[in-house]
Amino acid sequence: MLCVLRVEMRSFCKMNSHIVAKNVEVDRKVCDEKNPDPDGYACFSTDSWMTTPNGKKRMDQVAIGDLVLTGNLTATFYTPIISWMHREPDNRYNFYTIMTEYGKMLAVSAKHLLYRNLCDENYAEYVKYLPKARNVVFAEDLKIGDCLVLLYKGKYRQQRVMRISITERQGIFAPITQNGRIIVNDIVASVFSGSKHTRFQAWYYGTIAYIQSWLRLFGDAVFHKATIPTGASLASEVFRLVVP
């Protein structure tokens, strides 16, 4: 049975690689039997970085409770990481690698949510407000010419997407913040993936974070490295089935 499933998955991946290749540059094989997260919920790679009160830190350098930069609709502030959906520094994964017109780069999984603005030829360089939740898109649906929102000298600034490729990178990291947003490589992103209904996900992961906090009873080493249990992948399926 397992072998049959693997054959079917390989066939699906080969078919999908032709579809994806029309929109992005495929630097490596899109699907891989070794890929630990074939559904695209891996989120960020190790070389992605966040801004903390003590400067920039890679994903593998932060822990639960550390403050990282996030933003609401109009301003930025620091918020603690409350949980990890994934924290697997030794795994490798195929990421959508997005490059903006001024050289900002972000590597994310296919189903990760990003804040997207539709830009015309004379788009505004700076914006007063972040795109609303209804403007989030999966990374795999982002197109050349779309605009992402970045943080530049304390202000929200738009930059057009100029290149999208798929590259294999080290590490799978998915930090969860209380407000559901995070600024990675100066680009504003959601912490969620798999479903565009972020309120439901915020409730779910908030509950998991509360449960995980009890792991402090077993020592900080266990607490800081704990990730969302395997049921999280099931939850992602439930999000898509229950909330269309």
CB 52 within 8 Å of CB 62 = yes
DSSP string, the chain: -HHHHHHHHHHHHHHHHHHHHTTSEESS-SS-TT-S-TTS---B-TT-EEEETTEEEEGGG--TT-EEEEE-SS-EEEEEEEEEEEEEEEEEEEEEEEEETTS-EEEE-TTEEEEEE---TT--SB-SSPPPGGGEEEGGG--TT-EEEEEETTEEEEEEEEEEEEEEEEEEEEEEETTSEEEETTEEEEEEES-S-HHHHHHHHHHHHHHHHGGGGG-HHHHHH----THHHHHHHHHHHH--
Domain 36-242, architecture per CATH: Beta Complex (2.170)
The answer to whether the predicted template modeling score (pTM) of the entire model surpasses 0.75 is no
The rounded distance, in Å, linking the Cα atoms of 135 and 114 is: 8
List per-residue pLDDT tens for the chain, 244 residues long.
323 223 233 333 443 433 344 455 544 344 444 454 445 556 899 999 999 999 999 999 999 899 999 998 889 999 999 888 888 999 999 999 999 999 999 999 998 999 999 988 888 899 988 887 777 899 999 999 999 999 998 899 999 999 999 999 999 998 989 888 999 999 999 887 654 555 555 555 555 555 555 555 655 554 455 454 444 444 554 445 444 4
Kind of pairing between the strands at 25-26 and 155-177: parallel
